[in-house]
């Protein structure tokens, strides 16, 4: 656990997109919780909240300005456009100042009251304390099933295991934040980066509430895209699979060629069936297109990386020092 001589001990990162109705309730809920936190010697814990406005089209930024005028410990970054939640989290990590950093969503599904438990584990010496949902009853059945499948698939394919049913809600020590900040990749999957960084980790269980204000900005297509980003950023197994599959198909082809040769010698030639020819052609064509698609996913990510564009662009800052 690091100790700072000045500045906030705890920094909250709150990425937002079109959440004007949620800013006020979030601040009203979390501020008393943070004010009640104490250092081991009983002194009040110094904290800050950093909102990252990810290109909102509504009055989200105005609501943050209102909150900042009421409490200068509330700061914000306004990005020049919507870069996505992973980029917004990266912007927050680059600009917070606390010894302990907690990303949290503005929808209050992750209870701020758990932060005190995270701080306790951090003071015990754990550099990463992640929140784990006790159950997913607040999610629909399809989302529960797809989440379960994704966690298992990711951890099977990747050597960087991510905790099941753990989201971005976690406490990161300053040492972990500094490691994440120097990672150069543009295709960001933050859960994978947190897992890759290592350090001593502990879990805190909690019950996740239903969203009370606003609507989620994630749909199944965005979740699918995030899942693809997570797997391709953490593993090359999808590329390697096609080498094995191609070898297996070639082996079967050789075995079948031997069978046809022996049958022709023993029984003479016959006319091959049109349906079997079409099935074989369509099957091999489908395999080739899928393999090209997987290869294209990786090539597309290489293109993004070699452009070396910034992960995000800050349009405006509210409060605090740069």
The C-alpha atoms of residue 35 and residue 262 are separated, in whole angstroms, by: 83
Correct CATH for 10-219+310-318 of 3.30.420.10, 3.40.50.2000, 3.90.550.10, 3.40.50.2300: 3.90.550.10
Residue 69 has pLDDT above 70, yes or no: yes
With 60 as the cut, is the pLDDT of residue 189 above it?
yes
Percent of the chain with pLDDT over 70: 63
Domain boundaries defined on the chain: 10-219+310-318, 237-307
Q: Give per-residue pLDDT as tens, 95-153.
A: 888 888 999 888 888 888 888 888 888 888 888 888 887 765 655 556 656 666 666 66
Q: What is the mean pLDDT of the chain?
A: 75
Give the residue, 239 or 195, on which the prediction is more confident: 195
**Model confidence at 220, in pLDDT bands (50, 70, 90)?**
low
The pLDDT value given to residue 164: 66
The 10s digit of each residue's pLDDT in 285-297 is: 667 777 777 777 7
In this prediction, residue 1 carries a pLDDT of 41
Cβ neighbours for 81, distance < 8 A, ≥ 6 positions apart: 55, 313
Whether 321 has a pLDDT exceeding 80, the answer reads: no
Q: Which residues contact 225 (CB under 8 A, 6 or more apart)?
A: none
> Residue 4 above 50 pLDDT?
no
pLDDT at residue 254 greater than cutoff 70: no
What was the pLDDT predicted at 231?
A: 60
pLDDT score recorded for residue 162 = 67
Measured at the alpha carbon of residue 116, what is the angle toward residues 48 and 134, in degrees to the nearest 5?
120
pLDDT score of 3 = 41
Q: What is the model's pLDDT at position 2?
A: 41
Structure tokens at 58: 């509504």
pTM: 0.68
Query: Which run of H or E residues covers position 265?
Result: helix 237-267
Q: What is the mean pLDDT of residues 80-107?
A: 87
SS3 101: strand
């Amino acid at each position: 656990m690091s100790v700072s001589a000045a500045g906030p001990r705890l920094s909250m990162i709150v990425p937002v997109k079109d959440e004007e109705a949620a800013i006020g309730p979030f601040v009203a809920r979390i501020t008393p919780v943070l004010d009640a936190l104490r250092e081991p010697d009983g002194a009040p814990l110094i904290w800050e909240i950093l909102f990252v406005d990810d290109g909102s089209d509504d009055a989200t930024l105005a609501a943050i300005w209102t909150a900042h005028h009421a409490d200068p410990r509330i700061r914000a970054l306004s990005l020049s456009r919507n870069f996505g939640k992973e980029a917004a989290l990266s912007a927050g990590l680059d600009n917070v100042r606390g010894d302990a950093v907690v990303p949290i969503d503005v929808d209050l599904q992750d209870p701020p009251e758990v932060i005190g438990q995270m701080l306790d584990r951090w003071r015990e010496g754990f550099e990463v304390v992640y929140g784990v949902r006790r159950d997913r009853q607040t999610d629909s059945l399809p989302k529960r099933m797809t989440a379960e499948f994704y966690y298992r698939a990711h951890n099977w394919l990747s050597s960087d295991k991510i905790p099941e049913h753990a989201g971005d809600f976690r406490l990161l020590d300053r040492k972990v934040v500094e490691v994440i900040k120097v990672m150069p990749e543009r295709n960001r999957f933050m859960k994978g980066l947190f897992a890759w960084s290592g350090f001593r980790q502990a879990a805190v269980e909690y019950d996740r509430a239903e969203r009370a204000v606003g609507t989620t900005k994630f749909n199944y297509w965005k979740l699918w895209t995030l899942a693809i980003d997570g797997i391709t950023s953490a593993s090359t197994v999808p590329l390697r699979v096609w080498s094995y599959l191609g070898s297996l198909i070639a082996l079967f082809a050789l075995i079948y060629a031997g069978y046809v040769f022996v049958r022709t010698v023993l029984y003479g030639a016959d006319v091959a069936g049109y349906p079997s020819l079409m099935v074989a052609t369509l099957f091999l064509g489908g395999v080739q297109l899928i393999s090209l698609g997987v290869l294209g996913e990786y090539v597309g990510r290489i293109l993004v990386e070699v452009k070396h564009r910034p992960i995000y662009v800050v349009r405006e800052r509210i409060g605090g020092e740069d």
